[in-house]
Structure 1
Amino acid sequence: MKIETGWGWIFLLLAILFELSGTTAMKLSEGFTRFWPSLLMFVLYGCSFTLLNFALTYIEVGIAYAIWSGVGIVLITIVGFVLFKESFDLTKLAWMSLIIIGVIGLKLSSKVQ
């Protein structure tokens, strides 16, 4: 892996973390009825999309977007369970496992550009 490509994965990881934070702020905004979480959501999503844009200069769009969304889905499900006491069962675990397998497969199959 070239060092330049490493930056793409760093940007993608940060984009995922900002997206996770933005989605958490969205939940806390209670349908835009709370000002600060609502404002924070827009800022965090803006950061996420900016970082995703930078990642796309190093990583193929299909791979980057699939990983960004797949990892985001898994992480926000965990956050929902832990912070918001949302339901979690074996069926969700099984489907999330398939997402994780897909993300790993995409990462392993991605070419160094």
Structure 2
Amino acid sequence: MWMWLALAIGAEVTGTVALRASQGFSRPLPSLVTLVGYGLAFWSLSQALTRGMALGVAYGTWAAAGVALVALIGVFFLGESLTWVQAGGIVLLIAGVLALELGGATARA
């Protein structure tokens, strides 16, 4: 399950970075990478769900990891800035996903 979710996160992040590079879908290669990335992301996410991952955990992890990774890629590779408030938001996203996962583990026990 987790391998499929990791693939979904990687594909979504790749698609999102390519979306910026596509310049409004005016550049063919980044546009194609965007479409393939998002298609692969949703397919991989569906595979994680099919194999038994809880929807809240899967979607929460996928979304939070995607947001955090795209923000960090923006800072380290695309010259974007990150304020302390934004960094705190990323920490809160990660804490929320951990709460979902730990809460699910408690409910299963």
TM-score (norm 1): 0.87
Identical amino acids, percent of aligned pairs: 37
Q: How many residues align?
A: 105
| Structure 2 residue matching 1:85: 3-state secondary structure | coil
The higher-RCO structure (CA 8 Å, 6+ apart) is: 1
The match for 2:11 is 18
**CA–CA distance in structure 1, aligned partners of residues 64 and 36 of structure 2:** 21
What's the Cα RMSD here? 1.2
| Unaligned ranges ≥5, structure 1 | 1-7
**Displaced runs of 4 or more, over 3 A:** none
Give the distance between the partners of 1:83 and 1:93, measured in 2 at CA: 16
**Contact in 1 for aligned 2:56/2:100 (Cα 8 Å):** no
Given the two structures, how large is their TM-score scaled by the length of structure 2? Answer: 0.90
Supply the distance in 2 between the matched residues of 1:88 and 1:28 (Cα, whole angstroms).
20
Cα distance in structure 2, aligned partners of 1:85 and 1:102: 28
Q: State the 1:110 CA deviation.
A: 2.6
